[in-house]
Amino acid sequence: MDGSAATLKPGDTLVVASHNSGKVREIYELVAPFGLKVISAAELDLPEPEETATTFEGNAAIKALAAAKASGHLALADDSGLVVDALGGDPGVQSARWAGPGKDFGHAMSLVEDKLRARGATAAQRTARFVAVLCLASPGGATESWRGEVEGTIVWPPRGTQGFGYDPFFQPLGHTRTFGEMSAEEKHGWKIGEGAPFSHRARAFAAFAAAKLGAR
């Protein structure tokens, strides 16, 4: 954290510092009830900064700061990934890179599965978690971040066509369906003021909303 990014109010502009359409869509859905003017870094044709940090917090800050300084507006970045215990935490912050330049997450899921099988992982050793860190940055360089996690297991073959990324082969703890088999509302697990956040991104967003949007 470096200083404190400003609180947002209805009508304010917020740049979503991402070129990932699935991630942008989810953040739009979460931000929608608050009356902000939301635009993505892709819509502004902002360049994608190189993500050189070794933590989710570090990479989220890199993206948020780059978008805030380039746009002159507050920017919200998400850095997230799949952490698989039997793989020593991989793919972790490299989750998107495992999908390659073509963002082929079918390939990425197959790669994770191949590595689990190569290690002889049992059903009990297929534990994993999704991690999301949201970072809000101001054009002046102040940042704040919030982290959310959800525990689960890796299933094979992948199931479902909802969501994006690794969603089809992550089954959250206590559920029989993967994120890929859940609607956006089910995956988030909440509406503003109704119930508790469910997904990793919704949990991080709940903390952000309480701090910066006046949500309780």
Look up the pTM and report it. 0.90
Length of the chain: 216
Catalogue the long-range contacts made by 60-64 (C-beta closer than 8 Å, 24 or more residues apart): 60/133, 60/134, 60/135, 60/145, 61/135, 61/137, 61/143, 61/145, 63/17, 63/18, 63/135, 64/17, 64/135, 64/136, 64/137, 64/143
pLDDT tens, 83-121? 999 999 999 999 999 999 899 999 999 999 999 999 999
**What CATH number is given for 13-212 in this structure?**
3.90.950.10
Tell me the CA distances in angstroms from 95 to 79, 84, 124, 132, one per residue in order. 10, 11, 22, 12
Which residue ranges make up each domain of the chain? Answer: 13-212
pLDDT tens, 168-213? 999 999 999 999 999 888 888 754 445 566 889 989 999 999 999 9
In the set 79, 90, 114, 167, the catalytic residue is 79
- 79 classed as catalytic: yes
pLDDT number for residue 215: 67
